Amino acid sequence: MKPRIIAVVNHKGGVGKTTTTLNLGKALSLLKKKVLIVDTDPQANLSQSVGVEEPSKNIYHALVEGERLPIEQVAKGLHLVPADLDLSGAEVKLITEVNGYFKLRNALNTVAKNYDYILIDCPPSLGILTANAMIAANEVLIVVQSQYLAIKGLDTIIELIEELRQNLNPALGLMGLLLTQVNRTVVSRTIVEKVQTEYGDAAFQTVIRQNVAIVESSTHRMDIFSYDKECAAAHDYLNLAKEIVNG
């Protein structure tokens, strides 16, 4: 059985993309799923968030040099393909190669059978690394911060998904829009209502509430469940995982 391969995207930084990749991955592993999280951001925040810094081998070596994907276990049922600043040089090299857009898909094909879910943390841009992720994936999860400026550009991402589906990856579809950093302010509530009204079933019912434990867990290089499994964010990410598994 093929895994569900999910590209976690947004063209902006600071919306909760990396946090979601890590904590959704951990939540799925707690539901007894075998999960691989893949860092495709040269900033390597996902790798750093689980304490993997300056790995001897990282995703650059697989994408550019054709080596096997380096995989590290970070928890029971949860593995990581790390990134490093090396990856910042990959875009120029990939864009000049004939099959540059398919490098990640080809690399993941060699390990896909070992996992139920593969989550790809994308850079905060819509360049060739994000395109690689979407071509490797069969679903896209768009992370949306519950602020007015954050919802601008959503349609651009959705149009890109459709363009890639038509031209390069017929299996690709929109998994859903995930609202993060949701609080009790009027602005936040208004954004939640707007997204759920305009995008309907494309928006997840689960939202991720603003929670200081998310920031604290990141500072301690821990996922939210290892840091405080009873906090609001842990409950939210577990509910999201259940919505995805059961949906």
Q: State residue 60's pLDDT score.
A: 96
Under 8 Å between Cβ of 47 and 188: no
- The string of pLDDT tens digits covering residues 97-147 is 989 999 999 999 999 999 999 999 999 999 999 999 999 999 999 999 988
Q: Strand 4-9 to strand 72-75: parallel, antiparallel, or no bridges (unpaired)? A: unpaired
Q: State residue 149's pLDDT score.
A: 76
Whether the pLDDT of residue 43 is over 80: the answer is yes
Q: Which residue has the tokens 């896909």?
A: 112
Residue type for position 9 = V
User: CA 82 to CA 40: how far, in whole Å?
Assistant: 8
CATH code for the domain in which residue 114 is found: 3.40.50.300
Under 8 Å between Cβ of 142 and 179: no
How does DSSP assign 166-212, residue by residue? HHT-TT-EEEEEEEESB-SSHHHHHHHHHHHHHHGGGB-S---B--H
What would the two tokens of residue 138 be?
A: 């069969």
User: CA 128 to CA 57: how far, in whole Å?
Assistant: 21
Whether the pLDDT of residue 62 is over 90: the answer is yes
- The string of pLDDT tens digits covering residues 185-236 is 999 999 999 999 999 999 999 999 999 999 999 999 999 999 999 999 999 9
User: CA 151 to CA 172: how far, in whole Å?
Assistant: 22
What's the domain range around 181? 4-246
Confidence (pTM):
0.96
User: CA 49 to CA 64: how far, in whole Å?
Assistant: 24
Percent of the chain with pLDDT over 90: 88
What would the two tokens of residue 23 be?
A: 């904590």
What would the two tokens of residue 99 be?
A: 């099959």
Q: State residue 24's pLDDT score.
A: 99
Query: How many domains is the chain partitioned into structurally?
Result: 1
Q: State residue 98's pLDDT score.
A: 84
